[in-house]
Amino acid sequence: MSDFLAAHGSELILKTWQQIYIAAISLGLGILVAVPAGIILAHFPKVAQLVMGISSMLQTIPALAILALMIPIFGIGALPAIIALFIYSLMPILRNTYIGMQGVDPNVVDSAKGLGMTNTQLTFKVQVPLAMPVIMGGIRLSAVYVISWSTLASYIGAGGLGDFIFNGLDLFQTDLILGGTIPIIIIAILTDYLLGKIEHRLSPIPKQ
């Protein structure tokens, strides 16, 4: 591994940054879209079933197929990879946000209404905080998915640690495969850990 770092150290830094950049933007866009959508859908269960069905259908399409579909529209590089991974990030966050909102104790909701809270206050001061552990669970799951799938972005010229992995597979070089795989595992573990810390801070009832 020391030989790998000596030969590819600067390249490793660049490709790690590309991996994080693609995954972070995709996940960030997914959160910005899916969390508000899940909150809104919680108030419209019939519409929610349709949207969840469409989202589930998109989730069944292989990531590589979606990446390939992006090429005729957006070309190659980081942009089509980000859009494809954004689509993939939506379902876990949307589903968990909806489930979390629906799972809030009706007695708590009734009590809040009895105190004179408006629908907006009820949503953001009661339901969202109580649903936050479930919402964060979806975000954490989506983050791990996106970090893993962003490896495939290498196939469409977006760079990232997938370059090492696929070059290593083509050339039968174990050091290249490990040089790409190990950082991805570390990034995924650290991301899940940090999001877990955020979940702990945002939870109205901290976990023991």
Percent of the chain with pLDDT over 90: 35
What is the per-residue pLDDT across 95-113, written as a single tens digit (0 to 9) for each?
999 999 988 888 888 888 8
Q: Using CB atoms within 10 Å of the CB of residue 170, give its burial: 0 to 12 exposed, 13 to 18 middle, 19+ buried.
A: exposed
Q: Is the pLDDT of residue 82 over 50?
A: yes
Does residue 88 contact residue 61 with C-beta atoms inside 8 Å? no
In a domain, 71, yes or no: yes
In a domain, 166, yes or no: yes
In a domain, 111, yes or no: yes
pLDDT greater at residue 208 or residue 116: 116
CATH of the domain at 190: 1.10.3720.10
In a domain, 208, yes or no: no
Q: Crossing angle for the helix pair 78-102 and 63-74, nearest 10 degrees?
A: 130
Q: What angle do CA 167, 187, 31 make, to 5 degrees?
A: 110
pLDDT of 200 reads 85
Return d(Cα 85, Cα 93) in angstroms, integer.
13
In a domain, 38, yes or no: yes
In a domain, 144, yes or no: yes
In a domain, 122, yes or no: yes
In a domain, 207, yes or no: no
Return d(Cα 140, Cα 12) in angstroms, integer.
25
What is the per-residue pLDDT across 8-41, written as a single tens digit (0 to 9) for each?
778 889 999 999 999 999 999 999 999 999 999 9
Which DSSP symbol is given to 163?
A: H
Taking the complete model, does pTM exceed 0.85, yes or no?
A: yes
Number of domains the chain is built from: 1
Question: DSSP per residue over 90-149, as a string?
Answer: HHHHHHHHHHHHHTS-HHHHHHHHHTT--HHHHIIIIIHHHHHHHHHHHHHHHHHHHHHH
Return d(Cα 122, Cα 23) in angstroms, integer.
33
Return d(Cα 152, Cα 164) in angstroms, integer.
11
pLDDT of 205 reads 61
| Domain interval for residue 146 | 2-202
pLDDT of 51 reads 86
Q: How much is the mean pLDDT over the chain?
A: 87
Backbone φ/ψ region at 77: left (φ over 0), alpha (ψ -120 to 50), beta: left
Does residue 132 contact residue 201 with C-beta atoms inside 8 Å? no
**Alpha-helical segments (H) within the chain:** 2-41, 45-60, 63-74, 78-102, 106-114, 119-122, 128-149, 162-171, 174-202
Return d(Cα 201, Cα 205) in angstroms, integer.
9
pLDDT tier at 207, thresholds 50, 70, 90: low
